[in-house]
Amino acid sequence: MHDGQPEQAAQRMEVSELAHLIDVLWQAGYRVLGPTVGDGAIVHGEVRTPNDLPVGIRDEQNGGHYRLVQRGDGAFFGHNVGPHSLKRELLPPRERLFSTIRRGKQVTITNEPLSTEKIAFLGAKACELSAMLTQDRVFLGQNHPDAHYAARRRAMFIVGVSCTQAGGTCFCTSMGTGPRVDAGADLALVEVVSDRGHYFLIEAKTSAGHDVAKKLALAPASVDDIRQAELRIADATTQMGRHLSTSGIKEQLAAAAEHPHWDDVASRCLSCANCTLVCPTCFCNTVEDVTDLEGDHSERWRRWDSCFHEDFSYLHGGSVRHSVKSRYRQWMTHKLSTWIDQFGQSGCVGCGRCITFCPVGIDITAEVLALKPTSP
């Protein structure tokens, strides 16, 4: 997280300079992470050279379907999104909060030190950045900011990349979150691959981004360079695999609590929590205490949880949401309706992960449409 400044004019960065950008970030003390290929998916990993990126690979996505296929070109960022998001770096799936040691009658409590690791993420898409800014409202914008999240966020440098093609489950245009990288990045790239050349359009969005850009061999972007980049972003805008009408959606879902379609979707939902775990904005978590056998040492850990788990809403005497129907309804109405009451914006960024990684292919855009009021 870095202070902004007036944006710099777009410049042209040759493909050969991408390796230099990565080196500059490592030399500045950052551990560079980005999209890599692992376990048949685009996942986050260390990036030391451009060859660590998913070169010439795109992800084929549909409901319950995810495959990597060859693009037939040398694009470094020609994919959409995989199962990992920036949430993984800012809010780890499991982290220790504090530990205690008992020596006789004395108990010592030691808080877990805040992270000091500097991370530069190379290749964040627009929906990712919008999700991160949404998480900022959750963990930084309330009366009690989360110190661990804040420390990681302060130490992160982000190179965003605008999408030049959309995936089969993308609907970021419906949510106003993409495909162009606007807010949230220190540097913003657009990759242009054509028979006329392969280059990047680069813009510094913050003072930290400007400092990094000054160390690169860049050239002023020509009118045609900018036009080619704009054409590719425009292409992505027209390629969305899904669409979600958000007009009146808050009121629609609030009025649909007893709609019969909830029973239909519940009959298909496995309540596996995949959708919430891959969602870049879902923030449900729980804490667990672990001790040694003698009870002299204990630790408190925070880990991701999900409103799809029956025991997530457990109170004295049982779970508040004991049925799959009630849990799916809670998730969707919070994401698309009551989140607006809570944070002033939707909790969905249109990345499509919940559709892609649902084992039975439940499609949030189709379910919202099915919940439209029926004609009398």
CA–CA–CA angle 32, 184, 79 (5° rounding): 60
| Same structural domain, 205 and 72 | yes
Give the total number of structural domains in the chain.
Answer: 2
The dihedral over CA atoms of 33, 37, 39, 40, expressed in degrees to the nearest 10, equals 140
pLDDT exceeds cutoff 70 at 375 = no
| Same structural domain, 45 and 142 | yes
| Same structural domain, 229 and 121 | yes
Q: DSSP class of residue 236?
A: H
SS3 282: coil
| Same structural domain, 140 and 45 | yes
pLDDT exceeds cutoff 80 at 331 = yes
- Residue 142 binned pLDDT confidence (cut-offs 50, 70, 90): confident
| Same structural domain, 266 and 288 | yes
Helix 261-268 vs helix 324-333: crossing angle, to nearest 10: 110
- Residues 323-348 have a mean pLDDT of 93
Per residue in 205-227, pLDDT tens?
A: 999 999 999 999 999 999 999 99
Does residue 376 fall inside a structural domain? no
- Residues 83-93 have a mean pLDDT of 97
| Same structural domain, 256 and 229 | no
In whole angstroms, what is the distance from residue 371 CA to residue 376 CA? 14
Does residue 2 fall inside a structural domain? no
| Same structural domain, 173 and 302 | no
pLDDT exceeds cutoff 80 at 376 = no
pLDDT exceeds cutoff 60 at 50 = yes
Does residue 187 fall inside a structural domain? yes
Q: Mean pLDDT, the chain, as a whole number?
A: 94
- Residues 232-239 have a mean pLDDT of 96
Does residue 296 fall inside a structural domain? yes
| Same structural domain, 255 and 114 | no
Does residue 86 fall inside a structural domain? yes
Does residue 351 fall inside a structural domain? yes
| Same structural domain, 265 and 232 | no
| Same structural domain, 267 and 193 | no
Domain that holds residue 204: 11-237
Of the residues 237, 261, 292, the one at which a domain ends: 237
User: Which single residue is written with the structure tokens 């499509």?
Assistant: 352
| Same structural domain, 151 and 183 | yes
Q: How far is CA 299 from the centre of its chain?
A: 29
